[in-house]
Amino acid sequence: MLQIRPMGPYTGAEVTGVDVKKLDDDGFAPIYDAWLKYGVTVVRDQELEIEDFLRYSRRYGVIVPHPSKSTRHPDYPELTMLGINKFNADGTLKKEVYRRGAEGFHTDGAYDEVPFKATKLYALAIPSTGGDTHFSSMYQAYEVLPERLKTLLDGRRGGFTYGGRTGQTALLNPEDRNRPPAMHPIIRTHSETKRKSLYFDPGKILFIEGLEPQQSDDVIDELTERMIAPDAEYRHKWRVGDIVIWDNRCMVHKAAGDYPPEEDRIHWRVSIKEPVAGVV
């Protein structure tokens, strides 16, 4: 029987008693509602082929290939492989593969005009220790922001690129680097829940429009300090067969990046967008 169990006051819900291969629209509706409410859902104990994973993912929106071409599955470009090809020919660790997503809390796809609605992972291999994923609610971050910042940021946009202020683009092909920044409101109203959240990514933001460069940097530093609100975190301990999906419009996440590198930690991953008239 389907069971949905919140994992904390604001973030994360666990879904058990379901086989996503057999879900119909009525069966999916409470899972989608829990996802909107808690920002992250964990569906346990799934046995999936790639086609099953893609089919279930399309329930959430349009799957788009990730700009990191080197980590795409050779036969399924819309599928990214995490944790594959972790070592160079000389046996040294490829940090950009091992520590992917571990440099800090972030939201996926802020460098695109239409950022990712959701990211979904399916766990194929999990190390004996470490390798968790952290999530935190940006609704909550907005709630507890001082009025001074809410007022300053209301109606202002940020400029975001893949590499942000550090310019790290190791996983991108040369032709995909140096794209112009995408502009997004820093205080964002969610298209489905209509709730306001902070939309911020310290690793991708370049500037906040309309502020002098020094003030822009100061506000970015202050938001970096404040983005993880009290009680807003959920830390996911992976099991093989978990499907985890998060809402990039109102959540941030990061990989712990701390597992024994000689062990496997492998996921299938898709990026999902909201269908927008003519654009995905």
Binding site for Fe ion (CB under 5 A): 101, 108
In angstroms, the Cα distances linking 57 to 60, 64, 126 are: 6, 11, 21
At residue 246, what is the residue type?
Answer: W
Length of the chain: 280
Q: Pick what 133 binds: Fe ion, ligand AKG, none; C-beta below 5 to 8 Å, kind-dependent.
A: ligand AKG
CB-count burial class (<10 Å; 0-12, 13-18, 19+) for 13: buried
Q: Which of 11, 41, 71, 133 binds ligand AKG (CB under 6 A)?
A: 133
Q: Does 119 bind ligand AKG (CB under 6 A)?
A: yes
In the complex, residue closest to ligand AKG by CB? 101
How many residues bind ligand AKG (CB under 6 A)? The answer is 10
Paired sense of beta strands 182-185 and 80-82, if any: unpaired
Kindly state the helix (H) or strand (E) to which residue 135 belongs, with its residue range. strand 133-137
- In the complex, what is the shortest distance from the CB of residue 211 to ligand AKG, in angstroms, rounded to a whole number? 28
Site map 206..245 versus ligand AKG, x via CB under 6 A: ----------------------------------------
Q: Does 247 bind ligand AKG (CB under 6 A)?
A: no
Q: Does 108 bind ligand AKG (CB under 6 A)?
A: yes
Q: Which of 86, 204, 269, 273 binds ligand AKG (CB under 6 A)?
A: 269
188 versus 269: smaller Cβ distance to ligand AKG: 269
- Pair 198, 186: CB distance under 8 Å: yes
Q: Does 204 bind ligand AKG (CB under 6 A)?
A: no
- Dump the DSSP string for 139-208: HHHHHTS-HHHHHHHTT-EEEE-SSTTTT--TTS-GGGSSPPPEEEESEEE-TTT--EEE---TTTEEEE
Give contact residues for ligand AKG (rule: CB under 6 A). Answer: 82, 100-101, 108, 119, 121, 133, 253, 255, 269
